[in-house]
Chain A
Amino acid sequence: MLGLSVLSLALAGSLVAAPAALAHFITPKSGGSPNANQIASLYKIILYIAAVVFVLVEGALFYSILKFRAKKGAVAAQIHGNTRLEIGWTMGAALILVVITVVTFVKLPSIINAPNSDPNGFLSATLNQPTPPNGNKLTICVQGRQYIWRYVYGNGCVNGTFAARLPYSFQEMVVPTNTTVVLAIQSNDVVHSWWVPSLGGKVDAVPGYTTYTWFKIPHPGLFHGQCAELCGRSHAAMTALVRAVPPGQYSAWLIQQKAAIDDANTQVTQLRQTLTSENQL
């Protein structure tokens, strides 16, 4: 039994003691976007409550099995119950859950509501939800397909009228910093799930539905993510990369990407014409 208690202490220790070195492994990833930060702080509040509950319950368990083992002459107390005690711990459990509920709903707005873009951000306006108070945001359409993410940049990507002419990229998404970026997430085939841990929670890409999330990245950086819903044999290969760059650099990248796509289209058109004229197509 000693081993059991040592092990439990070790488990409790790893839950309670939260050295900075282990921060990534006892809390969700954060730091990329306010919503991810708020989720992590909500998680931490629950973690502290959980640690106390864990220590108390496991402590009572191990105390009783160590203390009350059969000994010569020991007689078990014939207790059938204690109504006041039982009502007490039922209320106690309920109270803890009320606290967690209140904290969750207090935190919720900061997780789901998109904030304003900073004045120096990359500004534009669309009608898609979620919308920051002043309406200024950048919309990017995220399309899941077996086994790659495709991103269409700019307003109107959801409605599709001009979507075909908007710049797009695969796997790596380039976004401006200090800007509220709203993602409109769709799927072309099976259910996928958009998830970049440092930029907030996951959102399923379900065919037939459009789902939304947002992030706002304060500093330039690179964020890894990966499809989180089994989508077939190469599910593991469906990764995502978000590269945050200053707004000016983003505008330049957009123009360059557009030019590269137009250039490639022109080349393909020419190739098609050549092949058609030579009767090879």
Chain B
Amino acid sequence: MSVIAPPERTLRPVPQLTAHEVTAPRQTKRWIDWVTTTDHKKIGIMYLVLTFVFFMLGGVEALLMRVQLSVPDNTLLSGQHYNQLLTMHGTTMVFLFVVPVMAGFGNYFVPLMIGARDMAFPRLNAMSFWLLLFGGIVFYATLFYQPPEAGWWSYPPLSSIQFSPSGGQDAWIFLIHLTGISSLLGAINFYVTIVNMRAPGMTWGRLPLFVWAILVYAVLLIIALPPVAAAVTMLLTDRHFGTHFFDPTDHGSPVLWQHLFWFFGHPEVYIMVLPGFGIISEVIPVYSRKPIFGYKAIAASTAVIAFLATLVWAHHMFASPIPIVVMGFFMLSSFLIGIPTGVKIFNWIATLWRGSIVTSAALYFAVGFIAIFVIGGITGIFLATFPVDWQLNDTYFVVAHFHYTIIGGAVFPVFAGLYYWFPKITGRMLNEKLGKASFWVMFIGFNMTFFVQHALGLSGMPRRIYTYAPGLGWSAYNMISTIGSFILGLGVLLTVANVVRNYKHGKLAGPDPWKGNTLEWFTTSPPPANNFDTIPRVRSVEPMRDIRRQVERQTGMTQKTGGSEQFARARSS
């Protein structure tokens, strides 16, 4: 075996890191460590845990609604309780789960992927997390008096003081403000971190695609959150201080609220799915053992989607009093979004094409995401065609559509990300078999729950009704959907069990169990507080792959998992 003479600059991936880890003697209690931490990794873990708790709560709310709708004329829930549940479910999933869970992954992995030692503003970062927690507490405290019941979109006049006199509506406004400030601070932090703290050599053309997605997510949050903050403040002053912004009896306009809310609400959809797209763009090339197909096209399409996302809001309002020509504009702008989204899907499939695909649980979730999201994208074209939307808007067809896009576009990628990054976060592997079982149960449950809802909407069932009469042709579909929702819930629980079990007892992962492409795999699992002792120079979009090749060249050995599981740092506990 001929060993090539070592080049001048030598890279030793892991050994240096273990040598330099400093463990100061513990002087405070463990929980105080967590409460006072400004470490992006600890904050990231707290984000992930907290948002998963909210995911469970939102899931239970959804299951209660599904049980209520499983049979016609059900009396399990009253209209009041049903409306409270649908408001809490929507608000929880949007503001307390999907948006912040992406901030959780972003917090943990953006600094690691760009070779930074922390976020740009660590204390601001901690504040973002605590504001999110307080937002959740303010909102869930309404369970002890009266939860809001005007929906997560809270259209006035229903959300006005005359029709929603309870303080629950004000708690909802408070939640929007608290989580809004939380996200805004987080977004500024991400933006500054990504722009200023990249490793040497990491030009914009070598930025990992997940980091691109988080960058665009941050910009969209900065654009979309101020309008909704203004809108809910106007709603608050309408409710309590005598203004009439949305009051039709005093020259105000309920349609103004709809414009302001959806100007935020539609970018919010892409705030939720773009980081998911980013996760997929990391997961698929690693398990295909191939470079991402069309890096530039994927990065550019992320930016184009974000731009278009600010121009499509009124497609939520095709049944509202707006002129036909305006509807035409919003139909075309919504169609346009289909093009960059389609480009992404084609690029992912082309990345799988002629690869050498390692069928891990993370890849299952990634491929499942594409399969589901394609359906959500196609039904989006139906809904963007405004004459067709006149029939479909506010029916279960829409419910099916956005669950295909959000569960498809955000939840499945979050699970893919969880299976992909769990070894890095904890130093231990999740059980792959249980992960695949979880995927299949979730995939089948999901399609069972939501595919039939297209048919429900087409056969005339509106959204948000708490019960329905028998004999309308809706009963069988509702029963199928309810059974499916419990299967979906079971699938989620399998992953929860997987995490709980393997958090302490899983197989040791080593620094690079998947042969990753990006810099987070260059450090130990879990990474030490300072992430990296030496930050390598980045020469391509796959720096870890370059490092692995260099190690192979220097040692003349093919590394099984990128080398150096022997240096795996056991959990410090």
- Which of the listed residues A4, A8, A57, A65 has the most CB atoms from chain B within 10 Å of its own CB? A65
Given A4-B371, A233-B83, A235-B466; A53-B378 close (CB under 8 Å)? yes
Given A64-B353, A235-B79, the answer on whether A29 and B459 have CB atoms closer than 8 Å is yes
Q: Which of A190-237 contact B (CB under 8 A)?
A: 190-191, 193, 195, 197, 200-204, 206-209, 211, 224-237
B-side contacts of A189, CB under 8 Å: 157, 163
Task: Determine whether B134 belongs to the interface, using a CB cutoff of 8 Å to chain A.
Answer: no
Size range of the chain B interface in the assembly: 35 or more
CA of A89 to CA of B293, assembled, Å: 13
Residues on the A chain within 8 Å of B150, using CB: 230
- The reply to whether B371 and A8 contact each other, CB–CB distance below 8 Å, is yes
The stretch of A69-77, A169-177, A254-262, A267-275 in contact with B is: A69-77
Given A64-B349, A228-B462: A206 and B455 interface contact (C-beta under 8 Å): no
- Which of chain A's residues have a CB closer than 8 A to the CB of B295? 80-81
Contacts of A237 in B (CB 8 A): 79
Q: Are A71 and B356 in contact (CB under 8 A)?
A: yes
The reply to whether B465 and A236 contact each other, CB–CB distance below 8 Å, is: yes
Q: How many A-B contacts if CB must be within 8 Å?
A: 265
Question: Which residue on chain A has the smallest CB distance to residue B293?
Answer: A81
> Once the chains bind, are B354 and A207 in contact (CB under 8 Å)?
no
The answer to whether A230 and B158 have CB atoms under 8 Å apart is yes
Residues of A with C-beta under 8 A to B173: none
- Whether A191 contacts B291 by the Cβ 8 Å rule is no
Contacting residues, chain B, for A1 (C-beta < 8 A): 359
- Which of chain B's residues have a CB closer than 8 A to the CB of A195? 394, 462
Looking at B2-10, B178-186, B384-392, B496-504, the stretch in contact with chain A turns out to be B384-392
> Which residues of B are found within 8 Å of A68, using beta-carbon distances?
288, 352-357
Is the CB of A120 closer than 8 A to any CB of chain B?
A: no
Judged by a CB distance under 8 angstroms, whether A108 is at the interface is yes
From residue 307 to 355 of chain B, which have CB atoms closer than 8 A to chain A? 319-321, 324, 328, 331-332, 335-336, 338-339, 342-343, 345-347, 349-350, 352-355
Given contacts A101-B335, A228-B394, A228-B395, contact A24 B354 (CB under 8 A): no
Q: Which of B78, B157, B335, B392 contacts A207 (CB 8 A)?
A: B157
Within A144-194, the residues touching B (CB, 8 Å) are: 189-191, 193
Contact digits for B82-95, partner A, Cβ 8 Å, 1 yes 0 no: 01000000000000
Contact of A39 among B336, B387, B440 (CB under 8 A): B387
A25 to B477, CA, bound (A): 10
A236 touches B466 (CB 8 A): yes
Main secondary structure of the interface of B (DSSP, over half): helix
Q: How far is the CB of B360 from chain A (nearest CB, A)?
A: 10
Complex: how many Å from CA A267 to CA B394?
42
Provide the bound-state CA to CA distance between A189 and B83, in Å.
Answer: 18
Is B223 at the interface (CB under 8 A from chain A)?
A: no
Chain B residues with CB under 8 A of A191: 155, 157-158, 254
If the complex has contacts A58-B371, A230-B83, A236-B468, are A93 and B339 also in contact, measured as CB distance less than 8 A? yes
Q: Is the CB of A202 within 8 A of B371?
A: no
- B residues 48-89 near A (Cβ < 8 Å) are 78-80, 83
Which A residues form the contact surface with B (CB < 8 A)?
1, 3-4, 7-8, 11, 14, 24-29, 36, 38-40, 42-43, 46-47, 50, 53-54, 57-58, 60-62, 64-65, 68-71, 74-82, 85-86, 89-90, 93-94, 97, 100-101, 104-105, 107-108, 111-112, 189-191, 193, 195, 197, 200-204, 206-209, 211, 224-237
- Tell me the B residues contacting A by CB distance below 8 Å: 78-80, 83, 149-151, 155, 157-158, 163, 248-249, 252-255, 288-291, 293-297, 319-321, 324, 328, 331-332, 335-336, 338-339, 342-343, 345-347, 349-350, 352-359, 367-368, 370-371, 374-375, 378, 381-382, 385-395, 440, 443-444, 447, 451, 454-455, 458-460, 462-468, 472-473, 477
Jot down 22 A-B pairs with beta carbons below 8 A, ordered by A.
Answer: A4-B371, A11-B451, A36-B391, A39-B388, A42-B387, A50-B378, A50-B381, A61-B370, A65-B367, A68-B357, A76-B290, A97-B335, A104-B385, A104-B386, A204-B319, A207-B248, A211-B321, A226-B462, A229-B394, A230-B464, A232-B163, A235-B83
